[in-house]
Structure 1
Amino acid sequence: MLIAEQRVARLGCCRDNQPYVVPIYYVRAEGQVFGFSMPGRKIEFMRSNPLVCVEIEHCTDQHCWKCVIIEGRYHEFHKETDKKHAWNILKVYNDWWDPGALNLGSDAKPPGYLPVFFAISMDSVTGREATLV
């Protein structure tokens, strides 16, 4: 399935009638899309309007492509146990983040270094593909 095969997607969110689309790294697990971000525009947008969409694609050429759109709801993890759970899901790929840059077991963290872990529900999943031989 395309969602499980890919690791980079485009997140679409909206605040005050202003759409915003940005690439994200993700892992599909537990029927959700898990991700992380440093605080910034996308987190501000999703906090103010948790209804989001995620676009995942694979394109070989203009005649051979697949695309999936996931519509869902943003959920941010606040408890340390939930953050560690998301961390464990995301670290299934060792290059998801510089492993030395984020260590939830360490007490020493750089000032202002507060990554946000989140999941997006998969309320609706639609897709298309084209394959011309």
Structure 2
Amino acid sequence: MTMTLTEITPAECYRLLEGARFGHLSCCNAGQPYIAAIYFAFSNGVAYSFTMPGKKLDWMRANDKVCLHVEHRLSGDAWTSVVVEGRFQEFPDSDVWRSERLHAWSLLQAHSDWWEIGAMKPHELPMLEGSPHVFHGIAVTAVSGRSAMRTN
């Protein structure tokens, strides 16, 4: 048996992203890459998510070029992998961004555990004024994908 690797179309990539909710987000600062697991909701070319203050947020604010990797495992050894190149956009709690922030929340809250990865921290942060949660989107600038499956 051998493995057959094929490129998938952008349309197939978008279909996979619309059905996915877990991925790995990478960012880079001063030449150093960083990657973190995230839950997201994909709609109209944007992967919506949220995070708490920390390294990932600081780095995305410093360099808005990011990548999102999503993998879908099928039966046996088959898999599909999509890489999104995109731009980070923060949705602050302000009148200007309120509708985008509410849209992100409405998509994310459709799943009962949407908040877990973004809200869990090894050390608790003191609550100052308002919520420390930062909603954001990754706007797709390029997408590519591959699929692998065993053949006889």
Q: Could you say which TM-score interval applies, normalised by the shorter chain?
A: 0.7 to 0.9
Q: CA RMSD in A?
A: 2.0
AA aligned opposite 1:88: S
Quote the residue 2:127 is aligned against.
Answer: 111
TM-score, with structure 2 as normaliser: 0.74
Aligned partner of 2:57 among 43, 49, 67: 43
- Report SS of the residue matched to 1:67: strand
Q: Are 2:78 and 1:84 aligned?
A: no
- Report SS of the residue matched to 1:21: strand
AA aligned opposite 1:69: V
Across the two proteins, how many residue pairs are aligned to each other? Answer: 123
1:87-106 residue pairs with structure 2 within 5 A?
Answer: 87-97=105-115
Cα pair distance change 1:62/1:44, threshold 3 Å: farther
- Report SS of the residue matched to 2:58: helix
Per-residue displacement from partner, 1:75-103 (whole Å, max 9, x unpaired)? Answer: 001125132232112112232127xx9xx
TM-score, with structure 1 as normaliser: 0.83
AA aligned opposite 1:95: D
Quote the residue 1:56 is aligned against.
Answer: 70
Deviates more, 1:31-40 or 1:53-62: 53-62
- Report SS of the residue matched to 2:57: helix
Quote the residue 2:28 is aligned against.
Answer: 14
1:24-43 residue pairs with structure 2 within 5 A?
Answer: 24-43=38-57
Larger Rg: 1 or 2?
2
- Whole-Å Cα distance in 2 between the matches of residues 97 and 39 of structure 1? 14
**Structure 2, gaps ≥5 residues long:** 1-14, 120-125
- Whole-Å Cα distance in 2 between the matches of residues 129 and 85 of structure 1? 31
AA aligned opposite 1:114: P
- Whole-Å Cα distance in 2 between the matches of residues 9 and 119 of structure 1? 14
**Structure 1, gaps ≥5 residues long:** 102-109
- Whole-Å Cα distance in 1 between the matches of residues 39 and 26 of structure 2? 13
Identity of aligned residues (%): 37
